Amino acid sequence: MTVLGDIFSGRLRAEMKSRVDEVLKAGNAWNQTAQELIATIDKLVDAIQKGDLDPSTPKSVSQAAKKLAKETRRLTRAFEAHNDTLKKVLTRYG
């Protein structure tokens, strides 16, 4: 199909929208998880400063950090997929 055919058929637009949506969704999940980790670390710091450390607090920090690592990998994959799509578009139409 020609460049105009791809543009007018919406295939290119649909692919780009799908990739951008994937990046946005992963970015939002990452941001939410990062905020959770920040809140958990703040609680840990407060507990340490007060000298009233609950044994479950470090565990919650560890869990939040692991979750953030998982979301970071997901976000990275979304960016990589979007980058691959852009490379294909540039190769084909550039």
Residue 32 within a domain: yes
Q: For 36-66, give one letter per residue: b (16+ CB within 10 A) or e.
A: ebeebeeebeeeeeeeeeeeebeebbeebee
In a domain, 35, yes or no: yes
Q: Is residue 53 part of a domain?
A: yes
Asked if residue 2 belongs to a domain, the reply is: no
- CATH number (domain holding residue 41): 1.20.5
Number of domains composing the chain: 1
Residue 26: which domain range?
Answer: 11-93
Question: Among positive and negative, which fits the CA dihedral 71, 74, 78, 84?
Answer: positive
Domain contains 44: yes
Which DSSP category does 81 fall into?
A: H
- Does the global pTM surpass 0.85? no
Render pLDDT for 34-78 as a digit per residue (tens, 0 to 9).
Answer: 999 999 999 899 988 998 888 888 888 999 999 999 999 999 999
In a domain, 80, yes or no: yes
pLDDT tier at 10 (50, 70, 90 boundaries)?
confident
Q: Is residue 61 part of a domain?
A: yes
